[in-house]
Amino acid sequence: MFYLPNTPMKTFKHKTILLTGASSGIGEAMAFQLNDPTSTLLLTARSTEKLNAMKHQLEKEGVHVETFPFDLSTPGAAGELHQQIEEAGFAPDVLINNAGFGIRGRFEDASAEELENMLTLNVTNLVSLTRHCLPHMLDSGDAGILNVASTGAYQPVPFFASYAASKTFVLFFSEALYDEYAGRGITVTCLSPGSTRTNFHDRADSPRKIFGPQESAEKVARVGLEALLNGKRARISGIQNMISSYLGYFAPRMVSTAVGKYLFSPEKPAH
């Protein structure tokens, strides 16, 4: 069956919004940009202390905030999180899958456990949480999903192989769902940031500056939220990031992979 394109969700007002990876970086910036008193923010991340601090600050601005400390890199965590949200009496109209981390280095140097945790967070629980939230969204008929990928999604990246591949999954998964749910009241958007001023690079031990200056988390958050409200299928944040991503995507694989190998080599300093 074919569906006509739907009218995208135009506002976050009066929505219940579930945001993962909310305690820092792009997720934290999104939380404070979604500070409308008519909305309800459901914030999840590993840090209970940081979530509680954000809750206190946002509630001073009149926003209804509920926190759910969870480690989404563990198997089954998405289902447990959704169950807790339901038991608390909430059903998300908007899902922002922002949580994720990367590992730079030679593939054999990363532990199998570390790789499994990354893929569980970046892929498995992203898919699971999306599936759990869909029934209410379909009933609502005015819902949105924003998945955060990366410019690394657009080409193979040696020494960042598993991370980049996980974000390619997120990109293609999002684009497929965009068409699958067009005309059914759910807008699905994929945001691909480039190098951003967050703690991602410290955890991944990755280069901060690759193509031009880093963007701020606040700017990337704004781009993503606006893209969802404008009904965009996918959005790369930043003109330079857009150019480099599309060059990598359309260039011969041998060329784009060689560039990635040079940029992310373990011998190249991260900072």
**Each residue of 119-174: pLDDT tens digit?**
999 999 999 999 999 999 999 999 999 999 999 999 999 999 999 999 999 999 99
**Each residue of 104-115: pLDDT tens digit?**
999 999 999 999
Number of H helices, E strands in the chain: 10, 7
Q: What does the longest C-alpha to C-alpha distance in the chain come to?
A: 53
* Residues 6+ positions from 146 with CB-CB distance below 8 Å: 94, 95, 96, 97, 98, 189, 190, 191, 224, 225, 227, 228
The type of residue at 25 is G
* Residues 6+ positions from 35 with CB-CB distance below 8 Å: 41, 58, 61, 63
CATH number for the domain running over 16-263: 3.40.50.720
**CA-to-CA separations, 241 to 150, 210, 215, in angstroms, rounded:** 10, 9, 10
- CA angle at residue 59 from 53 to 63, to 5 degrees? 130
**Each residue of 1-43: pLDDT tens digit?**
444 556 788 899 999 999 999 999 999 999 999 999 999 999 9
Has 246 been annotated as catalytic? no
pLDDT of residue 165: 97
Distance CA(154)–CA(123), nearest Å, equals 16
Q: Which of 154, 163, 178, 181 is catalytic?
A: 163
63-100 exposure pattern, b = at least 16 Cβ within 10 A, e = fewer? bbbbbbbbebbeeebbeebbeebeeeebbbbbbbbbbb
Beta bridge partners of 234: 190
**Each residue of 159-214: pLDDT tens digit?**
999 999 999 999 999 999 999 999 999 999 999 999 888 665 445 445 545 556 78
Distance CA(87)–CA(147), nearest Å, equals 25
Beta-strand relationship, 94-97 and 234-236? unpaired
The pLDDT mean for the chain works out to 90
